[in-house]
Amino acid sequence: MQLACRKQSTLWLMLENGFIAPSINIEEMDEQAAGLNIVTETTERELTTVMSNSFGFGGTNATLVMRKLKA
């Protein structure tokens, strides 16, 4: 449960503060990933919607989507 809350908190921080957190510990990109937009450094970006997918063993899958509401 703590991991799920941590993931939700990270998404909320990115949404509220306008940045995309990097994928860490990528030392060498696989050739098959060439051309994909993999974020390896913190990127400033105005966000309106964020999404996180989680895939588990045995088909336990989940998607968390958060959207910024206009006041």
Per-domain boundaries in the chain = 2-23+38-67
The pLDDT of residue 45: 95
Taking the CA atoms of 42, 45, 51 and 55 in sequence, report the sign of the dihedral they define.
negative
- What are the pLDDT tens digits along the chain (71 aa)? 555 567 788 899 999 999 999 999 988 888 998 889 989 999 999 999 999 888 888 888 889 899 998 87
Q: Which amino acid is at 70?
A: K
The pLDDT of residue 56: 86
Does pTM top 0.95 for this prediction? no
The pLDDT of residue 4: 59
The pLDDT of residue 47: 95
* 15-53 core/surface letters (b: 16 or more CB in 10 A; e: else): beeebeeeeeeeeeeeeeeeeeeeeeeeeeeebeebeee
